[in-house]
Amino acid sequence: MSVPLLYAAGGVVLFCLGLYAIFLRVHLLRKILAANVMGSGVFMVFIALAARVPGADADPVPHAMVLTGIVVAVCFTALAVALAVRIEELSGHSRLPRKGEEGA
Amino acid sequence: MSWLLDQPWSLWAIILPLAAALGAFLAPRQAPRIGMAAALAIFATVLGAILQVHGRGPQFHALGGWEAPLGIALRTDGLSLMLLAATALVGLVVSWYALGYFSGTVHGAEKREYFWPLWLFLWGACNALAVSGDLFNLYVTLELVTLASVALTALGGGAAALSAAMRYLLSGLVGSLCYLLGVALIYGAHGTVDLALLAQLVSDDGLSRAALALMVTGLLLKTALFPLHFWLPPAHSMAPAPVSALLSALVVKTSYLILLRLWFEVFPTVVTPGMGQLLGILGAGAILWGSFMALRQERLKLLVAYSTVAQLGYLFLVFPLAQGEALTGAWTGVVFFVLAHACGKAAMFLVAGTIYHTAGHDRIAYLAGAGGPLGVQVVVFALAAVTIIGLPPSGGFMAKWLLLNAAIAGGQWWYLVVMALGSLLAGAYVLRVLSWAFLDVRRTFYPTLPWTLRWPPLALSLVALLLGLLAFVPVHLVLTDAPVSAAVRLEVRP
């Protein structure tokens, strides 16, 4: 297994770990972190694929895409953290309401 | 006239709302005026784009002069025009409604200050998504759409609205990351993300299938196809009425547009009839389950939100139906459905908002004998619902007619049964609202409605109702540069 492929596989593993956690963890901060782990996994796949041709220079386009992706991820994390803080202020706990708890 | 056709209208349709969003953010007191002026200007711009594509054919722009493999290509074809037009039409009317909705003391000045910049930002993002011609730009614009939608959902402010927004954000994030991983695989295999170039490069191999599966799963989550619709009803019913209308009418359609582009333009060699049937079965499940849940709801806004879950199901019938000679018919039907549903559903949400605004609640059982000004609103609700049920001469009827034809032509009769049952159930949940509203019990006194809350829903309902009569023009325009244009033959079979 070549090095880029190893990194890409690592990225996919990170993606799956994040996916698992985002559904099964209850605390909102854990969910937000899980989303970031998922995102990092995708970015690793991108960067690994940039170096897929052995010997040649790395392809710069995926790097630019990852930079854009990081900007998007930062925006989302900021919004999610702001929402989580507000939810805790209003309801007293940092989790999403369970089925049947949602009032009008 | 020729200078009119030479303007880069689709670029203006992106720049204008974004500039107006900035203006509305910097001058919050002027926000409604800036927003309404921008809405009119964007509507005119989209008309310009429609004329341009009608006169000159599909338009291409390479941003900054960088051509396709590296740069960002913008493309305006029939499918883009449909989303641009739906957004412009619904957007203009909803902006008009929002002038009235956010003016009272009930919905404070603070919400008005946040609504306008976010909505204009959402509008710009939707327009940018409609004309994007590459996978990565579609990802970025889809994220912008989600970001603005989540913030708009949270505008309600209560714990329930914030939780709905949070759930929406997390499921949107999972969806877009799945999509992005698919983009990474495609880029790794072919070295480009341009739709037109990929269409020539993609072949049926394991990597393409994996990428397609990831991207489609992500987009299904974002389009809220049953059973991935869990986030939609709370998000759409907790938001303020103008926001609910925008989310249900437009935002779910943006990810669907990407799905259409992928399925018919990039991966036609990879998709199999089996995959189409799988999406079709999920769509049929959405129609039946969504309608059934709508029938059971106590609150009007939740009823309308579950109706969206059901109606999204129809959109997915295109994947099994668009085969062989039924290809063009099914594709046109479903694209026309996007426009018809956008008008009808936005009108229904606006009426629900007006009722909530006036009566202070939207519990269907307490609407008994609403009468007076609310009675008129319930009639407007029924007018809008004509297109949702699919009765002639509405746009929804026309779209369903095209889909039914495709089902008959393809010999897939079970979709006929599903569509008939869906229409019956839709009729049932609309009648349930009507029957409560017109019960002859003691009438409650309700204050007179301001005109900005009365006329916009009626205007949209009438458009939705009469859309079927004018169907030829939009349907013809949608076929401009369409992925199915090989056999442009609109044949209505008995």
Contacts of B193 (CB under 8 A, 6+ apart): B134, B135, B136, B137, B183, B186, B187
Q: Which of B66, B144, B177 to mutate to test the interface with A (most CBs of A within 10 A)?
A: B177
Chain A residues at the B interface, defined by Cβ less than 8 Å, are 8, 12, 15, 18-19, 22, 28, 31, 35, 38-39, 41-42, 45-46, 49, 52, 59, 61-62, 65, 68-69, 72, 75-76, 79-80, 83-84, 86-87, 90-91, 96-97, 102-104
Q: Does the distance separating the beta carbons of A52 and B184 come in below 8 Å? A: no
Q: Does the distance separating the beta carbons of B174 and A103 come in below 8 Å? A: no
Q: Does the distance separating the beta carbons of B185 and A35 come in below 8 Å? A: no
Please determine, for residue B4, whether its predicted confidence score (pLDDT) is greater than 50. yes
Dihedral angle sign, alpha carbons of residues B176, B179, B181, B186: negative
Please count the helices (runs of H) and the strands (runs of E) in chain B: 21, 2
The residue assigned the tokens 């998922």 is A38
Q: Does the distance separating the beta carbons of A76 and B173 come in below 8 Å? A: yes
Identify all chain B residues contacting A97, using CB atoms and an 8 Å cutoff. 159-160, 163
Q: Does the distance separating the beta carbons of B151 and A87 come in below 8 Å? A: no
Q: Which pLDDT score, from 0 to 100, does residue A1 have?
A: 63
User: For B133-159, how does the pLDDT look when each residue is reduced to its tens digit (9 = 90+)?
Assistant: 889 999 999 999 999 999 999 988 888
Chain B residues at the A interface, defined by Cβ less than 8 Å, are 70, 136, 140, 143, 147, 150-151, 154, 158-160, 162-167, 169-170, 173-174, 177, 180-181, 184-185, 187-188, 191, 234, 299
Q: Does the distance separating the beta carbons of B170 and A22 come in below 8 Å? A: yes
- Nearest-angstrom CA–CA distance, B440 and A10: 67
The residue with greater pLDDT, A22 or B72, is A22
pLDDT band at B369 (very low <50, low <70, confident <90, very high): low
Q: Does the distance separating the beta carbons of B170 and A102 come in below 8 Å? A: no
Q: Please give the residue of chain A at the shortest CA–CA distance from B230.
A: A99
Could you give the dihedral angle defined by the CA atoms of residues A67, A71, A72 and A77, in that order, rounded to the nearest 10 degrees?
130
Instruction: Give the CA distances from residue B249 to residues B77, B289, B348, in Å, rounded to whole numbers and listed in that order.
Output: 21, 20, 10
Q: Does the distance separating the beta carbons of A61 and B160 come in below 8 Å? A: no
Q: Please give the residue of chain A at the shortest CA–CA distance from B361.
A: A104
Identify all chain B residues contacting A96, using CB atoms and an 8 Å cutoff. 163, 166-167
Burial of A90 (0-12, 13-18, 19+ CB in 10 A): middle
Identify all chain B residues contacting A65, using CB atoms and an 8 Å cutoff. 136, 187
User: For B424-458, how does the pLDDT look when each residue is reduced to its tens digit (9 = 90+)?
Assistant: 999 999 998 888 877 766 666 667 777 888 889 99
* Average pLDDT score over chain B: 88
User: For B225-239, how does the pLDDT look when each residue is reduced to its tens digit (9 = 90+)?
Assistant: 988 999 999 999 888
- Nearest-angstrom CA–CA distance, B106 and B450: 14
Per-residue pLDDT averaged across B278-286, rounded?
95
Per-residue pLDDT averaged across B100-120, rounded?
79
Contacts of B53 (CB under 8 A, 6+ apart): B59, B76, B77, B78, B81, B477, B480
Q: Does the distance separating the beta carbons of A68 and B180 come in below 8 Å? A: no
User: For B333-364, how does the pLDDT look when each residue is reduced to its tens digit (9 = 90+)?
Assistant: 999 999 999 999 999 999 998 888 887 778 88
pTM of the model: 0.93
- Parallel/antiparallel/unpaired status of strands B73-76 and B59-62: antiparallel
Please determine, for residue A92, whether its predicted confidence score (pLDDT) is greater than 90. no
Nearest CB to B177 within list A38, A59, A103? A38
- Nearest-angstrom CA–CA distance, B203 and B234: 40
Question: ipTM, 2 decimals?
Answer: 0.94
Identify all chain B residues contacting A49, using CB atoms and an 8 Å cutoff. 184-185, 187-188
Helix, strand, coil percentages (3-state) for chain B, rounded to 5, are 80, 5, 20
Q: Does the distance separating the beta carbons of B136 and A104 come in below 8 Å? A: no
Q: Does the distance separating the beta carbons of B187 and A96 come in below 8 Å? A: no
